[in-house]
Amino acid sequence: MTTIAGRADLDVELLAARQRYAERRPVTARMHEEAREVMPGGNTRTVLYHGPFPLRMARGWGSRLVDVDGIEYVDMLGEYTAGLYGHSQAAILDAVRAAMDDGLSLAGHNVYEGRLARLLVDRYPALDLVRFTNSGTEANLMAVSLARVVTGRPAVAVAYGGYHGGLLYFGGGGSPVNAPYETVLMTFNDIEGSRAVLRANADRLAAVVVEPVLGSAGCIPADPAYLAMLREETASLGIMLIFDEVMTSRLSPEGAGAAYGVTPDLMTLGKYLGGGLSFGAFGGRAELMRRFDPTAPDALPHAGTFNNNVLTMAAGVAGLTKVLSDEALLELNARGERMRDRLNEVVAPHGWIATGRGSMVGLHPVTHPVTRPEDLADADDRLRELLFLDLLERGYYMARRGFVALSLEITDADVDGFVDAVRDSLRERSGERPVDRVAADLFEQGVGPAEGPRAEEATVGRHRAGMRARDHRSVLK
Ligand SMILES: Cc1ncc(COP(=O)(O)O)c(C=O)c1O
């Protein structure tokens, strides 16, 4: 059996993996082409795009997803943490149906919003008062805007690489479509460097926004001393400390900040707390949040047609009262810890590392410790794509960038299967096992992506099937 030694022909392996992906998904390909006629790149949420054309899901239940070509996956992505309850939790679906029965878009305060607010305020020590938005992005924009008003200062300090929404993204230093706030960059977990940045910019800094565990930036936990330093410095410099817990609130019943023993001035929430529907929230110290009290003479406006939409509010209440017990959340995060330990055992020999905390896991093709996003700069993105495609082939869906977020529906057996799939892929690709026939043939023929204008357009021969994902075309009727 021919094997490819080393990584010299990674491009060829990737080409073959993309080809196999494409060949199995003719319906996905056609729908993508149709969408491209009316949407730029056929896409409306950048993170979901991947080559050669993105997956298109037809339906989901529990922890399972089926794409439009009828291929089933174990969902290890959990909608980037928003899908904590899985795709069809009965108590949540019942609550949404009951809310629907009472009518949509009522243009009034409703019976759910006060209940959801009470649940959140009782749950998170940082929240005296809370308000709702439609997304985590909006929640962070509102929190930063509030900090700017109360401090009278213009700028916000963030960690390099941090992600706080589509308008507050600091990978590569900052996205061109960011909201036009003045920003100051810090290096995550660099205690003395960040302290110096805060002190040097104190007179113009309204807020520091940080995740206790960087999520999108690679699942990188803060050093407890880093968060303690941020709390101490911001308090003494009159800067608002905002914890973006859109993802990390799932890491303990009281949120990640509380688990670190640090209470911010403001906290933002999102994702799963809306039960799987569009959601965001921001809140914090009473004297700050009271600025939005409409009865105050100088009340700040906070608008949003769907801020209190009945479906999200009802789903959020059902999730917190009927599904997410403290025990369930603790067990979810313990399962994540166990999974990360096992992943590290199987990936380390192949030059990978598993990062994160609790139910949030990052898989990275690097061999050194990852304590800040900059540590991932030398990761070979082709390896990420190859693992992503290999796992799809084996029936497991995680983010293209190597992100995993467990849902409550994921079982130990699912975790076992996922760890095995990761191990098998990395072993196979490292030459410990026979590599894909197509890649081997291409390698022998000297065919590579350089011969075609785009890797996905290059022609490769038929390949062995070797598919483990089950075919569920029948459920698509
Ligand atoms: C930490 C963090 N903040 C904010 C957001 C933005 O939330 P949304 O996508 O609901 O706007 C995200 C989304 O992934 C996030 O991970």
Q: Which CATH number fits the domain that encloses residue 188?
A: 3.40.640.10
* Co-location of 71 and 100 in the same domain: no
**pLDDT at residue 444, rounded to an integer:** 53
**Mean pLDDT computed over every residue of the chain:** 91
What is the average pLDDT across 215-239? 98
**pLDDT at residue 471, rounded to an integer:** 33
C-alpha 432 to ligand 1 mean position (Å): 39
Looking at this protein, which amino acid is placed at residue 224? Answer: P
Ligand 1 within 6 A of CB of 211: yes
* Closest ligand 1 atom number to CA of residue 279: 10
> Do the domain assignments include residue 1?
no
What is the average pLDDT across 164-174? 96
Select from 301, 323, 345 the last residue of a domain: 323
* Closest ligand 1 atom number to CA of residue 138: 11
Q: Give the lowest-confidence range in 168-177, 293-302, 463-472.
A: 463-472
pTM over 0.85: yes
> Do the domain assignments include residue 3?
no
What is the average pLDDT across 423-443? 69
pLDDT at 474 over 90: no
> Do the domain assignments include residue 4?
no
What is the average pLDDT across 213-233? 98
* Co-location of 359 and 453 in the same domain: yes
**pLDDT at residue 431, rounded to an integer:** 78
Here the CATH number for the domain that contains residue 423 is: 3.90.1150.10
Ligand 1 within 6 A of CB of 163: yes
* Co-location of 318 and 330 in the same domain: no
* Co-location of 170 and 303 in the same domain: yes
The residue nearest atom 8 of ligand 1, judged by CA position, is: 136
C-alpha 25 to ligand 1 mean position (Å): 30
Helix then strand count (H, E) for the chain reads 14, 16
C-alpha 84 to ligand 1 mean position (Å): 14
pLDDT at 191 over 80: yes
C-alpha 350 to ligand 1 mean position (Å): 31
Q: How many structural domains compose the chain?
A: 2
What is the average pLDDT across 93-121? 98
> Do the domain assignments include residue 351?
yes
C-alpha 133 to ligand 1 mean position (Å): 12
> Do the domain assignments include residue 296?
yes
* Closest ligand 1 atom number to CA of residue 135: 10
| Strands 403-405 and 360-364, sheet pairing | antiparallel
* Co-location of 176 and 249 in the same domain: yes
Confidence bin at 461 (pLDDT 50/70/90): very low
Ligand 1 within 6 A of CB of 159: no
* Co-location of 136 and 275 in the same domain: yes
pLDDT at 3 over 90: no
Whether the bond between 154 and the residue before it is cis, its omega within 30 degrees of 0, is: no
Q: What is the dihedral of CA 165, 166, 167, 171, to 10 degrees?
A: 80
> Do the domain assignments include residue 2?
no
Ligand 1 within 6 A of CB of 133: no
C-alpha 132 to ligand 1 mean position (Å): 14
Select from 290, 323, 356 the last residue of a domain: 323
Cα atoms in the 13 Å half-sphere on the side-chain side of 154: 5
419 vs 124, 329, 336, 412, 431, CA distance in Å? 33, 21, 12, 10, 19
> Do the domain assignments include residue 366?
yes
Paired residues of 109 in beta bridges: none
**pLDDT at residue 316, rounded to an integer:** 98
C-alpha 169 to ligand 1 mean position (Å): 10
Which of 416, 403, 326 has the alpha carbon at shortest distance from 79?
Answer: 403
In which element (H, E) is residue 294 found?
none
Choose one of 47, 77, 164 to mutate for the ligand 1 pocket test, by most ligand atoms within 8 angstroms of C-beta: 164
Residues 322-368: tens digit of each pLDDT: 999 999 999 999 999 999 999 999 999 999 999 999 999 999 999 99
Looking at this protein, which amino acid is placed at residue 247? Answer: M
* Co-location of 45 and 141 in the same domain: no
What is the average pLDDT across 193-215? 98
* Co-location of 181 and 56 in the same domain: no
* Closest ligand 1 atom number to CA of residue 47: 14
294 vs 144, 299, 301, 302, 368, CA distance in Å? 19, 5, 8, 9, 52
pLDDT at 207 over 50: yes
C-alpha 446 to ligand 1 mean position (Å): 44
C-alpha 372 to ligand 1 mean position (Å): 19
Q: What SS3 state is found at 316?
A: helix
Ligand 1 within 6 A of CB of 247: yes
In this structure, the chain runs to a length of: 477
Distance CA 317, CA 115 (A): 7
> Do the domain assignments include residue 220?
yes
* Co-location of 193 and 300 in the same domain: yes
**pLDDT at residue 7, rounded to an integer:** 54
* Co-location of 77 and 98 in the same domain: no
C-alpha 145 to ligand 1 mean position (Å): 17
Ligand 1 within 6 A of CB of 246: yes
* Closest ligand 1 atom number to CA of residue 134: 10
* Closest ligand 1 atom number to CA of residue 140: 4
Select from 300, 323, 346 the last residue of a domain: 323
* Co-location of 77 and 97 in the same domain: no
Domain of residue 301: give its range: 90-323
18, 10 in Cβ contact below 8 A?
no
Ligand 1 within 6 A of CB of 164: yes
C-alpha 281 to ligand 1 mean position (Å): 11
* Co-location of 413 and 379 in the same domain: yes
Ligand 1 within 6 A of CB of 135: yes
The rounded percent of the chain whose pLDDT value lies above 90 is 88
Choose one of 133, 137, 140 to mutate for the ligand 1 pocket test, by most ligand atoms within 8 angstroms of C-beta: 137
Residue with tokens 């810090």: 186
